[in-house]
Amino acid sequence: MILRDRTAIRRPEISRPVRAALKDGIVSPATAVFDYGCGLGDDVRRLQEQGINAFGWDPAHQPNGPKTQADVVNLGYVVNVVERSDERAASLREAWGYARSVLVVAARLKADADERFAAYEDGVITRLQTFQKFYEQHELRDWIANTLSEPPVAAAPGVFYVFRDEAARESFIASRYRRRIAAPRIRLSDKLFEEHQGILSSLMEFVMERGRLPEQDEVGVGADLVGVFGSVKRAFQVVRRVTGPEQWEAITAERRNDLLVYLALGRFPRRPKLSSIPALLRRDVRALFGTYKTACAAGDGLLFAAGDMARVDAACKEAPFGKLMPTALYVHADSLHRLPGVLRVYEGCARVLTGDVEGTTILKLRRHEPKISYLSYPAFDADAHPALANSVRVDLRSFHLKHRDFTESADPPILHRKEEFVPDDYPRRESFALLTKAEEDAGLYANPERIGNREAWRALLLARGLVVDGHHLKNAAGKLLPRPGDA
């Protein structure tokens, strides 16, 4: 006998799908959330504590809860506990029927499976007499798509979003490839700029976000800009005069690349028609590429290049930063946007499948086989030699995800030479490099293959009578060793 009610658990924190939806702005104080199959109601309670209109229903634990439409419906870890495939699909369709805007679907992946479980139907029976269906990531994606006839968007491993509105879906996907850019610095004093800095700041924010000038109706101060300067173009000439043109040209180039990455990856599962993408994106395409056809052709070229491992290898060798090893390029995840477009699309092919892998610090881009790894080093900035906590490897040929957890490991892998993973302007890069030089001078890197794990590294330091304190190398007495350049 299958005991479904036993699958509900107390959660010490918000569940992964709801956490992802909050981070992505899918769930906010402006949305109503229906937790379909809410179990013991922990997510509902925590959302309510944040001022979010949330309510739930569960056949075993909240049978009298309301079943009604909401902006967002969360179907979190429900379909994996239903042993009958037809009932599983019916639950998905029913939950979709309550979603006005977005359905969040989460299920457990095969990486979570325990080999000791007994096989039953298309899943297993656990020791608690509950059923579990473990999915491959692509299997879950395809099942959702086939059941609802809607293309889901991967939010995270085991988590997908299904959008009611196609334009909203495309807007969300495009936003993933666009990072926040710092405002160009004011270089020159200008009376006209200073007098109208308020409305010109709104103009600057739009251009930083889109990489192009707005139409008058795209900014709330459009009429004011035209009234004061005669046109939006003339208003921006004042901005360029006080900041210089180079920074804006770089922003335009970056936004053009962001759009190219979005269009390249738009092939998965199918590229939307021009009429299906938001008006704002259509205007971006027109301003930055001229026509949608031209933009799509450029995106296709980039996608083709990302599928050619020889070109991926060449791009890895030419990358402006990153630790280049014989089989892979390792880069800090926060600086992904600075890589050549080929590598951004190469990584993006994995992200289309996985969504965002929570906690990723370092990306490992294989040079000779299509595999991407997402590595989590929670103490990357603070710890001189941070330990690996988790890794998720994506095989782009088999679509298989492999997860490894090192949090309980007594001897996890650690990092050295942290400055090699980050660009030149990364905060604290100089302190990383100075420590590396001190460790090199002390002969600690003579056998790098022996110090890749924490215990071997600690043993070497102990044998040499050295201690790493913060990002300083000291002797056993606590005296700071001379740093390169010290008198």
Q: Is the pLDDT of residue 128 over 60?
A: yes
Burial of 152 (0-12, 13-18, 19+ CB in 10 A): buried
Do 30 and 146 share a structural domain? yes
User: What's the domain count of the chain?
Assistant: 4
13-65 pLDDT, tens digit per residue, is 899 999 999 999 999 999 999 999 999 999 999 999 999 999 999 998 999 99
Percent residues over pLDDT 70 in the chain? 96
Do 428 and 395 share a structural domain? no
Do 144 and 42 share a structural domain? yes
Do 110 and 8 share a structural domain? yes
| pTM greater than 0.75 | yes
How far, in Å, CA of 46 to CA of 24, rounded?
A: 17
> Which residue from 29, 5, 20 is spatially nearest to 105, judged by alpha carbons?
20
What is the number of alpha carbons within 13 Å of residue 75 lying toward its C-beta?
Answer: 26
Do 118 and 12 share a structural domain? yes
Q: Is residue 126 part of a domain?
A: yes
How far, in Å, CA of 151 to CA of 342, rounded?
A: 25
In this structure, the dihedral spanned by the alpha carbons of residues 266, 104, 139 and 16, taken in order and rounded to 10 degrees, is 110
Do 397 and 438 share a structural domain? no
Q: Is residue 48 part of a domain?
A: yes
Residue 431 belongs to domain spanning: 424-475
How far, in Å, CA of 282 to CA of 270, rounded?
A: 17
Q: Is the pLDDT of residue 487 over 50?
A: no
Do 10 and 152 share a structural domain? yes
Q: Is residue 344 part of a domain?
A: yes
Q: Is residue 280 part of a domain?
A: no
CATH number, domain containing residue 48: 3.40.50.150
Q: Is residue 292 part of a domain?
A: no
Query: pLDDT category, 477, cuts 50, 70, 90?
Result: confident
Residue pair 137/48 in contact by the 8 Å Cβ criterion: no
Do 144 and 59 share a structural domain? yes
Q: Is residue 253 part of a domain?
A: no
Residue 365: predicted pLDDT: 98
Query: pLDDT category, 1, cuts 50, 70, 90?
Result: low
263-322 pLDDT, tens digit per residue, is 999 988 888 899 999 999 999 999 999 999 999 999 999 999 999 999 999 999 999 999
Do 139 and 44 share a structural domain? yes
Q: Is residue 251 part of a domain?
A: no
Do 85 and 39 share a structural domain? yes
Q: Is residue 100 part of a domain?
A: yes
Do 97 and 11 share a structural domain? yes
